[in-house]
Amino acid sequence: MGKSRLEAFSDGVLAIIITIMVLELKVPHGADAEALKPLIPKFLSYVLSFVYVGIYWNNHHHMLHVAKHVSGAVLWANLNLLFWLSLFPFVTGWMGENHFEALPSAVYGFVLLAAAVSYYALQQSIIATDGPSSVLRRAVGKDWKGKASPLLYVAAMVSAFWSPWLAQAIYVLVALIWLVPDRRIERAINTQT
């Protein structure tokens, strides 16, 4: 089983997710600055989600790069990840529509959490398929980012009911943690050769 179609299909779904989120920015009728003002929270939530989908694409790209085989289990673990990512446009739009209120912010965190857990499951599924010589297993190592993120999402979900802005700050923080280039996989490849 080759992995090229898994990559192509995932690229397609991620490309569509990242692009249709922008459709929530409905074109206003007025032509002045006042008409743009209500769009500011929607725009901010769009930027946040764009960065998150970008991070997922980036990490997915690296992970599949070192995967040797894909099994039926990997295909379904991947579809499960894509399912949760496909809810990004909805939760992004809902959070932006309601100016980062408590419940939409918490639900946004829940989808981030589910995506993170799904990504972890996909990673484990690839490692299991590749067997003892898995490059990915070595690359992942202690995976502190992967383990810390779900905890931070849970913290954000809880704090959303107390201070939605704290939740947003945590979402931005996790994004920044992941934006810092992750050299683990590149290093693991170099170590091998």
Residues in the site for a copy of itself, rule: CB under 8 A?
Answer: 1-2, 5-9, 11-20, 22-25, 27-33, 36, 47, 50, 54, 57-58, 61, 65, 72-73, 75-76, 79, 82-83, 86-87, 89-90, 93-94, 97-98, 101-104, 107, 179, 181-183, 186
Nearer to a copy of itself, 147 or 183 (CB): 183
Nearer to a copy of itself, 141 or 151 (CB): 141
Nearer to a copy of itself, 8 or 169 (CB): 8
Q: How far apart are CA 37 and CA 118, in angstroms?
A: 36
Minimal distance, residue 57 CB to a copy of itself, in Å:
6
- 140: buried, middle or exposed (CB in 10 Å: 19+, 13-18, 0-12)? buried
Nearer to a copy of itself, 151 or 161 (CB): 161
Q: How far apart are CA 144 and CA 116, in angstroms?
A: 13
CA 34, distance to chain mean position in Å, is 33
Instruction: Describe the chain by its helix, strand, coil percentages, rounded to 5.
Output: 85, 0, 15
Sole residue written with tokens 């931005």: 172
